[in-house]
């Protein structure tokens, strides 16, 4: 099977297949007489394994470890579990960070009046996050923010 067919069958792009060969996640493919790469069933099995591991967010280094464990029939499943649990902890940390980013953006969006004025706490925070904390508090207390546009505070 040539690289295009291997790509289609495995769900891994031809570019990534070449990269995985280069970094030795998969062995270099045999070459046909005309110089084209020729992939075997074993290569395809390995590419599908890599694809599933990538889909689960494992890094290339982690995939290398998983492949080593997969190839080692005397492995201990505890080693595989340790790697999986470490990856779970990394994913959970990334999720926490993404939630913090979303919360921050929601807060900034809530502070933005979103009218014709050029003042924007979102852009101000991106420009200088230290300076914005005080401005955000003042903006939140402003008459326009409280729905009193054009009216004197009571």
pLDDT tens digits, residue range 92-116?
A: 999 999 999 999 999 989 988 888 8
Q: 3-57 has which CATH code?
A: 1.10.1660.10
Q: How far is CA 11 from the centre of its chain?
A: 18
Task: Please tell me the predicted confidence (pLDDT) of residue 98.
Answer: 97
Of the pLDDT bands very low, low, confident and very high (cuts 50, 70, 90), residue 84 is: very high
Dist. CA 115–CA 133, nearest whole Å: 21
Mean pLDDT computed over 119-135 = 77
Give the pair of three-digit tokens for residue 22.
């280069």
What pTM value is reported for the model? 0.73
Task: Please tell me the predicted confidence (pLDDT) of residue 140.
Answer: 53
pLDDT tens digits, residue range 44-73?
A: 999 999 999 999 999 999 999 999 999 999
Give the pair of three-digit tokens for residue 111.
């502070």
How does DSSP classify residue 92?
A: H
Which residues of the chain form CATH 1.10.1660.10?
Answer: 3-57
Task: Please tell me the predicted confidence (pLDDT) of residue 135.
Answer: 55
Give the pair of three-digit tokens for residue 7.
């790509």
Dist. CA 51–CA 43, nearest whole Å: 12
pLDDT tens digits, residue range 7-55?
A: 999 999 999 999 999 999 999 999 989 999 999 999 999 999 999 999 9
Helices 3-10 + 41-55 axis angle, to 10: 40
Helices 77-111 + 129-140 axis angle, to 10: 50
């Amino acid at each position: 099977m040539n690289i295009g067919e291997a790509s289609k069958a495995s769900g891994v792009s031809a570019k990534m297949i070449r990269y995985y060969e280069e970094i030795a996640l998969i062995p270099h493919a045999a070459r046909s007489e005309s110089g084209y790469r020729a992939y075997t069933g074993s290569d395809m099995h390995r590419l599908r394994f890599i694809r599933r591991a990538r889909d689960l967010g494992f890094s290339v280094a982690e995939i290398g470890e998983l492949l080593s464990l997969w190839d080692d029939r005397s492995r201990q499943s505890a080693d595989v579990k340790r790697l999986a649990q470490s990856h779970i902890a990394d994913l959970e940390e990334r999720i926490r960070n993404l939630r913090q980013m979303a919360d921050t953006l929601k807060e900034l969006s809530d502070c933005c009046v979103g009218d014709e004025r050029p003042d924007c706490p979102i852009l101000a925070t991106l420009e200088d996050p230290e300076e914005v904390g005080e401005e955000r508090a003042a903006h939140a207390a402003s008459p326009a923010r409280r729905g009193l546009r054009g009216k004197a505070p009571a």
